[in-house]
Amino acid sequence: MNAKDKMTARLTLLEGVNISPADLETIADEIEDNQRIVAELEAFAQGTPWISFQVQPPEKKA
Amino acid sequence: MAPADIAEMGLADLSARLVARELSSSDAVSSALERLDRLEGKLNAFITVLHNQAQVEAKKADDEIVRGQHRGPLHGVPVTIKDMFETAGTRTTGGSKILQNWIPDADSALVARLRAAGAIIIGKTNLDEFGHGGTSTLSYYGPVHNPWRLEHIAGGSSGGSAAAVAAGIGPISYGTETGSSVRRPASYCGIVGFKPTFGIISRHGSFRGAWSQDHVGLFGRTVKDIALALDPVAGFDARDPASVRQEIPAYASRLKANAQGLRVGVLRRFLDGVDPAVRQSFEAALKIFAGLGSELVDLDVPEIGYAAMTSMLTSAAESAGINRRWFREHYHDFVPHVARGLAVGMAITASEYLTVQRARHRIREVLRATYEKVEIIAAPTTARVAPLLSEGVKGNGDDARHAGYNHSNLLRFPSMLGLPGCSLPCGMSPEGLPIGLQLIGAWFADQTVLNAAAAFQSATDWHKRRPDIAKV
């Protein structure tokens, strides 16, 4: 999938909302830059555990 | 006593006089409302003002106090709250057009606790829409103006609350913080802004900016006032999944202005881009702590250089998730900058969000180790003083899109990790705008932070300064 198709795939998440072409361009630029940021954070986080939390009752006991 | 003199009183003083019946709640509320009415045209700090309701409640408070039924330090005291907190029977807008006519039928946890404490809510303050901003210019109801220089911003998103307290409209206001929305406006407006550890104050019934980073916080002119206003509203609430069980809050009675032996960490490499006047005031503040017997510890924690990016993406994804329905049904009713931000957040995938949380965990673990070496991390609250309104949203000079030793990371990491943080005034710029110092503690070391802040205020008088607008 090329870069344009990837962006199109992300923008389908905004379907149903009438966004102006100018806004869409601004949004797309930021989405693309966010992918750069995620890649940096992924490299930074290498070796760190994945975090997940169970939503357990506060009074839980083993 | 003249209304202007009453309006200048802090919470501790006002509360003592109410108990002693030297002043009535009706007088205190009238003074605050008089000042509000006189200054609001210049500040735009309020969305809704409760003239009649507040005066009725003040009368009731006076009757109770006369009968000896004193409820505590907030009884009969005029306070303000950010328009993020659901208030039964009162319009609650979130700074948005979407909710311009919404009247909740139940109180948020904060409002319920304030009512139980006998506080008199006199108004709902202006803010960036649903907390999405750092300027308080992204409100459907217009921007908030800084009481020190009206052509400058008050900071956000809790700018209305900060402006109100700085201008003497009530001694205390309650706001919220997701990224920096208590500490930044406190710094810009020259007052104390305290954000407790995540989960100390219930968020039930307040709008969510980003659920894993949202906090309720307070504004006041002294640390003692903050501690007095914190006790009645802190405490476990099962309706907020993040709420922590704690013993009965007693921050005020345990407040000690003592920094002797405190290890205060300084992250000097993050200060290079800070405005010279801010840097100068910060270094002077460190000397104060040294004089109080604190040990200054130079720290280098490069991992904090990823905090702003991590915080920003976390907020973007969580805000989009929270606003999914309104995004589709009311996109064009949001403030345009906020709407675009939500659109960007909608495009963050689940795996990307989880990757960001992994980075967050790495930063958290590094800070856990850091707080074995120090009790407090001190930094300038913001890299510059309040910018001009005309500079728009970029005026704050934040950079949440690049890793590295930039100050934006020092602003964002406390709320990202849920650490207690207090901003307090530590200087003035050549242009006459306040400069703030922030003290960040370890998880649940809220008392340590408040005590250190109180120690600083005992040795300085920056917190006694008032903007000219409040002196008339």
* Three state DSSP letters for B135-173: CCCCCCCCCCECCCCCCEECCCCCHHHHHHHHCCCCCEE
Give the closest of B328, B340, B401 to A16, CB-based. B328
CB of B76 closer than 8 Å to CB of B28: yes
Q: Give the separation between CA B150 and CA B146, rounded to whole angstroms.
A: 5
Number of A/B CB contacts below 8 angstroms equals 87
**Per-residue b or e along B351-361, where b marks 16 or more CB atoms closer than 10 Å to that residue's CB:** ebbebbbbbbb
Q: Tell me if chain B has a CB within 8 Å of the CB of A53.
A: no
* pTM over cut 0.90: yes
**Minimal CA separation from A21 to chain B, in Å:** 12
Q: Tell me if chain A has a CB within 8 Å of the CB of B245.
A: yes
CB of B11 closer than 8 Å to CB of B76: no
For B310, the token pair is 């991590």
Backbone angles phi, psi at A28, to 5 degrees: -65, -40
CB of B386 closer than 8 Å to CB of B275: no
B 116-145 residues inside an 8 A Cβ radius of A:
none
Per-residue pLDDT tens digits of chain B, which is 472 residues long: 888 889 899 999 999 999 999 999 999 999 999 999 999 999 999 999 999 999 999 999 999 999 999 999 999 999 999 999 999 999 999 999 999 999 999 999 999 999 999 999 999 999 999 999 999 999 999 999 999 999 999 999 999 999 999 999 999 999 999 999 999 999 999 999 999 999 999 999 999 889 999 999 999 999 999 999 999 999 999 999 999 998 888 999 999 999 999 999 999 999 989 999 999 999 999 999 999 999 999 999 999 999 999 999 999 999 999 999 999 999 999 999 999 999 999 999 999 999 999 999 999 999 999 999 999 999 999 999 999 999 999 999 999 999 999 999 999 999 999 999 999 999 999 999 999 999 999 999 999 999 999 999 999 999 999 999 988 6
**Minimal CA separation from B113 to chain A, in Å:** 22
Nearest of B17, B220, B26, B146 to residue B3 by alpha carbon: B26
Within 13 Å and on the Cβ side, how many CA atoms surround B322?
Answer: 18
Taking only the tens place, the pLDDT of each residue in B431-450 is 999 999 999 999 999 999 99
Q: Give the separation between CA B127 and CA A19, rounded to whole angstroms.
A: 25
Radius of gyration of chain B (CA): 20
**Minimal CA separation from A33 to chain B, in Å:** 8
Residues of chain A with Cβ-Cβ distance to B327 below 8 Å are 17
Radius of gyration of chain A (CA): 18
pLDDT value, residue A60: 55
CA distances from B298 to B47, B220, B281, B283, B376 (A): 44, 30, 18, 13, 12
Give the closest of B241, B362, B401 to A44, CB-based. B362
Determine which one of B30, B82, B180, B224 is catalytic. Answer: B82
| Complex-level ipTM | 0.93
Residue B157 falls in the annotated catalytic set: yes
Other C-beta atoms closer than 10 Å to the C-beta of B254 total: 13
Taking only the tens place, the pLDDT of each residue in B398-435 is 999 999 999 999 999 999 999 999 999 999 999 999 99
Handedness of CA B177, B179, B184, B185 (dihedral sign): negative
Residue B275, SS3? coil
Residues making up chain B, counted from first to last: 472
pLDDT value, residue B247: 82
Which among A44, A56, A59, A60 is the top mutation candidate for probing chain B, defined by the most B β-carbons within 10 Å of its own β-carbon? A44
pLDDT value, residue B312: 97
Residue B81, SS3? strand
Q: Tell me if chain A has a CB within 8 Å of the CB of B256.
A: no
Q: Residue B263 pairs with which residues in a beta bridge?
A: B295
Residues of chain A with Cβ-Cβ distance to B360 below 8 Å are 51
Other C-beta atoms closer than 10 Å to the C-beta of A44 total: 20
Q: Residue B177 pairs with which residues in a beta bridge?
A: B215
Closest residue, chain A, to B239 (C-alpha): A58
Return all residues near B109 (Cβ < 8 A) that are at least 6 apart: B202, B203, B204, B205, B237, B239, B240
